[in-house]
Chain A
């Protein structure tokens, strides 16, 4: 089974537009939406959820006022400043370490595990989709990404899929690392802007750090010719292949408003560029 992760360093570069089209084009793939923090794929694939998994990561401390004597020992030991006036825990700040529970002389603190997200196994018109929703303000996005990938692997096996296509999260942090580790190839979507190039370089470094070969796709390629060439030069120097270029166009927005993927919405030149990128990616994956 081959695994592909689509990443971008920065959001809004057209990752989901591309990945959803790949979902439409791939014959036998399981799709995993690992952008768990702000998942969007479901808006285009309209999944029918067949199984829900609860996601629990770290506990949160709770101080029981009946027991608390107000000695303040917990406050002194909490390194995250999560214990507010009146010995109340700010759940957004609490990291769930359990130090307060440990140091409290009168056992006034308990650590409580709450559900902080959900993962779903779904059916779509293009095959299985595994996606998730992280509770607001929850950390451990990386762990939820790992859960999505684990479910996706099971689902792919069950359905005899030969490929898993992963829509990765933005950035270079823990979720991205979780979405990248162990995959066969990373497709980095970038754009010819100062910020795009900066983020491309950072995310390529992350992929290199984890030994994942990458391919690059330049979106909005006609917005700035000299920046586009800068990306090409960078890729040549790094020995990274460019899988294709996609012009600045309103097609993705129009398709999105209709709830469709590009390749379903139209067969114009824009869609052809997307298909071309997919062909290159397949070739690189050796399938």
Chain B
């Protein structure tokens, strides 16, 4: 079973939930798909080994064969090629690796080479994998897709990137259940609505975890009741949790009674997926 932890927005406690869930439930693994800012291991403190350098294919122009017809640049929807009268320039940062340019080239002047976009690393136990996008790199989705191939057979939790754009969709795509983490405030509600819309449209069963429960107004609860989104856990506003978080300590380690709650929540999720 694949469970994604998402939220319309960052900073709502996604990583906190993913990590504490991972530590509470036996025989599951964790993928940190928030490849722009992978933070899970800051709480797990695993030694990591690199398992893969993820690349995407980008074009290389053979100037010997190129006649500067410009067909490749015309075809490219990402403006990754510019055909000048004497030379074709490749802006590989913009390339999505679709391979269209080499298909359309009438002179067979385009071959491809791999451009590194980031790494996949894993813990020695093999139960935790994380992607790390290179600085200045915009292509998060191919890295996430590759990372997801390390999910394994058992239950896996995936820490999704914030927002509702393509990296988040890539993570949520084909998962069995989605946990939406939010805060009980107007900002939280606004972001929750966006995320809920995604999972509804993708027809993925979902439940809400309210983090820092008690701080805001009742808007989130009301929305959940109205739309039939179950609230599967509430984590109270508690300075002790905030302090543990700041030190990089998962709160189930300082408050072990919470492991039981995560286990119960796991049962609820299994029910919902069945």
Contact = CB atoms under 8 A, between A and B. Distances in A.
Interface in B93-131: 96-100, 103-104
A103 B103 contact: yes
A170 B42 contact: no
Contacts of B202: 92
A38 B42 contact: no
A11 interface: yes
A98 B39 contact: no
Nearest to A41: B187
Interface in B151-181: 161-169, 173
A79 B138 contact: no
Interface stretch (B224-232, B239-247, B255-263): B239-247
A266 to B, nearest CB: 17
B111 to A, nearest CB: 15
Contacts, number: 176
Contacts of B248: 193-195
Interface string B1-43: 0000000111110010000000000000000000011010011
B9 A11 contact: yes
Contact of B103 (A40, A102, A220): A102
A195 B166 contact: no
Interface stretch (A149-157, A202-210, A278-286): A202-210
B197 interface: yes
Interface in A112-157: 134, 136-139, 141-142
Contacts of B36: 171-173
B215 A253 contact: yes
A102 B75 contact: yes
Contacts of B254: none
Interface in A259-283: 259
Given A136-B198, A172-B37, A253-B185, A38 B103 contact: no
Contacts of B43: 194
B222 interface: no
Q: How large is the interface on A (under 10, 10 to 19, 20 to 34, 35 or more residues)?
A: 35 or more
Contacts of B165: 37, 134, 137-139, 141, 175
Chain A interface SS verdict (over half):
loop
B242 A248 contact: yes
A13 B246 contact: no
A194 B103 contact: no
B69 to A, nearest CB: 16
Contacts of B53: none
Nearest to A95: B96
Interface string B204-220: 00000000000111000
A16 B8 CA distance: 15
B39 to A, nearest CB: 4
A198 B39 contact: yes
A177 B137 CA distance: 9
B190 A40 contact: yes
B190 A102 contact: no
Given A193-B245, A209-B135, A253-B216, A10 B10 contact: yes
B133 interface: yes
Nearest to B56: A79
A97 B217 CA distance: 45
Contact of A40 (B37, B191, B216): B191
Given A58-B77, A177-B136, A192 B194 contact: no
Nearest to A250: B215
B11 A79 contact: no
Nearest to B36: A171
B104 to A, nearest CB: 7
B214 to A, nearest CB: 10
Contacts of A198: 37, 39, 42
B39 A173 contact: no
Contacts of A95: 96, 98
Contact of A77 (B97, B99, B135): B99
B186 interface: yes
Contacts of A173: 36, 133, 137-138, 140, 167
A57 B129 CA distance: 33
Contacts of B185: 253, 256-257
Contacts of A138: 165-166
A79 to B, nearest CB: 6
B164 A99 contact: no
B133 A38 contact: no
A10 B37 CA distance: 7
A227 interface: yes
5 contacts: A97-B96, A99-B99, A171-B37, A198-B37, A199-B37
